[in-house]
Chain A
Amino acid sequence: MTTTEHPAPARGAVALGGLWFGFLAGPAAWTLQELVGSAITSHECFPRIFPLAAPPMEGMRGLLFGVSLFAIVLCVAGTAVAWRDWTRTRAEHHESTGKARQHAHPAALLETGEGRTRFMALSGVLVSVTFLIVVIANSASIFLVRPCPGQ
């Protein structure tokens, strides 16, 4: 391009697969936890047309906790990968704007947003952390909420 820098000068510093993993790991973990958790508890507590006082499956809470633990690990992994990519692309928005090491504008708050790689990495951090919070809250409910109405 004649008048612009490449929008992702740091694209060689991180793998695209890692950026996507950071972005998608959290939502995938939460989806797994919510769908598996709600399907198992719904079916165990209300298998046909009458609700049960207690789930017939022994160790249901343990199973749900196992799934939740896996979801938490996935979210943490997503956060870690995204964070690593973010730190590796720290200089990108300076490079892509052609203003080496100088902040773009005194009025800019939070970030100026230049650098596609860094944008994707920061997005991964935000998404992973948010879904980590949701997954931890859902995990807590396994111990705080009774699974079936009568128990």
Chain B
Amino acid sequence: MSSVDQPEVSQIDRPSMEVDIACVGFGPATGGFLTTLTKAWNENSADPAFESRVTPGMPLQVLCYERADDISSGVSGVVTRGQAIRSSFPALNPAEIPMAVPVSSERVMYLLDPIGASRRSALLRLADFFLRLGGKLVGMRDYAFTLPWTPAFLNKHGGLVLGIGQFNQWVGSQLMASGLVQIWPGTPVSAPLISGKKVEGVRLADQGVDKSGAPIDGFMAGMDVRAQLTVVGDGPVGAVGQAIDNKLGLPPGHAHREWALGMKFVIELPEDSPLKPGTVWHSFGFPEPEIFGFLYVHPERLVSVGIFVPSWMHDPSRTAYRYLQHYIQHPALWKHLKDGTLRSWGAKSLEESGKHGEPYLCGDGYARIGEGSGSTNMLTGSGVDEAWATGTQLGVAVIELLRAGKPFTQENLAATYEARRRASWVEHGAKEAENARNGFQNGIVKGMIGMALAGLTHGKLSISAHIPLPHKQLRPFATNSYDALKLKDATKMAIADGRSFHDALLTLRGWPEIPFDGRLLVTQQDALLMGGKVQAVPGFADHVVFRNPQLCIACGEKTCVAMCSGQAITQGEDGVPNFEREKCVYCGACLWNCGQSPDGEHSNIEFRAGSGGLHSAEN
């Protein structure tokens, strides 16, 4: 028996227990899986298929472990077509789910730069010039050009605007009411238990340890939960998914190369706001050409406004919080938002590799579902419904295997779960989207052309490109260049006046200072205390680890510092960044925003299992 190595505590007698199914991570994918399972059980709880194999005479023992300290702490404002969700809940009434509403209108906008600080190519500046020249005649208003139609592949009409935290809470309460499923929040899973190529369960994180994981007073060894089936739905930066990838490998040619950081505000609109619930805006062009944005209007005058900063934005100063503040101040948005109040914010990494990053979907004793299984469709910009669908596909497959009395082997899971997934709309969409975003590696214009080509031809045409590993996508600052000087100046500024590093970088690049008003425009540190605060339960080890300190010392970019959503990673005096667990929102951006690699494959930052993170329900 061997488990994935835990450097902090390896030789300890651990408590263990046996269950039938252990799920890791509670999000839309696991929600779909457990909903499918419980619905079948509720229809006939006497069905012998649902008798526990590990506790005869009892119903199936199904446990789900979630890192966040509440199942409502999911972070995402979402617009989704919702076909899989509606399929699970045919009588779905969005009014029963806080922050949910049907999509009522949708538009796509190209945003010009009213400030003049963004890094626009000559081609883009020329396009901007002509748009400005055309003015209202060509549909320009408030420095925004609204596309005359929303491309079909982006269209979410008939879908739903959701707050994922609230959706998870709604799903979770129904699951727990069934009595079949237990969902344990505040319980991070540190690693899968792997024997040979078989996953035999999971190990919960140790408690009562210091920052490095060494036992201290009140040490409690993480339990080994042995399971017939381990359902891995811990998202793109989850410790279990990463460990399985590292230990068992990815399919040939596959890698997690493309990422984005999604960061958003939840803002309460002023009482006289004309924005109707269900309004959906997509944008591109500002604050940087590479940064896409969104605005979704929920009921009760709440709106989710956010941006996606992609890994193919090669600039090492890429950052999110300050950019988001500039984004909401764009004239096209600000006229609606300026009298609003910030209620909460959040951030998460999105795995945007699609099929290119798809892991083995199943193996002996385990199955992968959701975003971490490569289900997100990067052409349609949709992930929640796809994740839910993969969960339901696994649910149906598991019920089939239970009824047939077959074990959860790779062969059986491939014949049931993987086969269903391959034959489904999720797979068809993923294939269409497979190469849709390649062009972005060569710039925003080629990227948009490539995306349009793939979208309009259902993936038959696309632009080919080599996509390097994330740590190679960062373009280093050239020595003694203008950029290098900015980096040094920013470091000095950050040290001199206590401001954050990314804040200083953007100021030095010509972005105007943010006019803080204490209500909507607040410092990033204040944002950490708004809406839901960041939680870090004491007694857990640091989950962000710098593998080789010498590489950090030699690193000139320090993108991990610039990108950190919660300012949890800061400049260290010795050149190795400091990590403060108490500020980490668990977005995982540091994992793919490190320009160094000790082994040529992984970045120099290890993102392990941790407890806590953002604790906000209005998300």
A binds B: no
